[in-house]
A and B are shown apart, each in its own frame.
Chain A
Amino acid sequence: MERILNLLTLFALAMFIVTLTALRRAHIRVEYSVSWLAAAVFLFILSRSHTTLAWLTASLGLSDPVLALIIMVFCVFLVVFYRFSIIISHLKDSNIAMAQRVAILEYQIDSLHEQQSK
């Protein structure tokens, strides 16, 4: 049990550091790093605070804290992935609208050139 919690602590710290490094190198924008930083902090707290984990295990009606831990980790990543799915969908919509606008403007510029050359 303790070994899993230590591993989770290391994982949370690594996630935090990697995200901060990516932020510093401008590989990730601040608004998109928030989800990962929040997830890292949550997992760190969960792995270090035995009372929080015990409370969660009891709240979920489970007898095994490891199972509660796995469920919580799964939920955290599910929330992060869901948030990014929404962001990607918005980006795809804007990207398509922009591509369509570029195509229409290019067509109109070509038409103007054709009219001028006649």
Chain B
Amino acid sequence: MIIIPAFNEEGAVGDVVREVRQVVPDAPVIVLDDCSVDSTRWVAKAAGAHVVSVPHHLGLGGCVQTGYKLAFELGYDYVVRIDGDGQHDPAYIPLILETLRSSDCDMVIGSRFVDGAGGTHTNSSRAIGIWLFRLILRPILGKTVHDPTSGFVGVKRSALAIFSMSFPLEYPEIEALVVLQRKRFRFTEVPCRMRRRKAGRSSITASKSLYYIVHVLLGVFVNVLRFEGRRRRP
């Protein structure tokens, strides 16, 4: 299953859905509409996607978790999440799926910073943030994750089981890595090209950047300190 979280992405989501359907025609494409006030829902439907609309704005994490819950309940083994703004190139979905199938990793991250990746299109402030998180996560995760903020990820059913029960609500990418690491799950990165967003604006504006950093750092440390601790993988 391919899930596409979208909030006010009427300008981009249609093209994303069409591209995804071309690349993986057999996979169901679900657009998770986070209570958009524009015509995201109808544009996605017209492009051939199924649409799940949450009744009120949940934020990215809550929206993505809805997709994970749905996929888990419907019995899917692999789910790929791709953003609705067109930044992620759907041409890399088969690579993520193939890596999920052929490796023992529970999560595969599409990374713009590993060897073989194409364009990055990251502004300098975001690049500094990524560098900072990479540095902080290195001792926690036990290895370097080059692109910890990437939302282009594929997960196996084992990770779906975890995420459908517990998933960070805001800015989920980095915290999700820590959640998986605490459960002794494995993840890897594959090179992916990132493009410029086709329309709309990023939810992380300059003024929100500091809040983003503090929020994510707090979330990371809370997950590290959580009582449920380091359970062995099932």
Contact = CB atoms under 8 A, between A and B. Distances in A.
Interface in A94-111: 96, 99-100, 102-104, 106-107, 111
Contacts of A111: 50
B70 A106 contact: no
Contact of A96 (B50, B53, B73, B169): B169
Contact of B62 (A99, A102, A104, A106): A99
A99 B56 contact: yes
A79 B137 CA distance: 34
A100 B65 contact: yes
A100 B69 CA distance: 8
Nearest to A95: B56
Interface in B51-72: 51-56, 58, 62, 65-66, 69-70
Which size class do B's interface residues fall under? 10 to 19
Interface residues of A, number: 9
Interface string A38-66: 00000000000000000000000000000
Interface of A: 96, 99-100, 102-104, 106-107, 111
Given A99-B55, A100-B58, 10 more contacts: A96-B58, A99-B58, A99-B62, A100-B66, A100-B69, A102-B55, A103-B53, A104-B73, A107-B52, A111-B50
21 contacts: A96-B58, A96-B62, A96-B169, A99-B54, A99-B55, A99-B56, A99-B62, A100-B54, A100-B58, A100-B66, A102-B54, A102-B55, A103-B53, A104-B52, A104-B69, A106-B52, A106-B53, A107-B30, A107-B51, A107-B70, A111-B50
A-B residue pairs, 6 tightest by C-beta: A103-B54, A100-B66, A107-B52, A96-B62, A103-B52, A99-B55
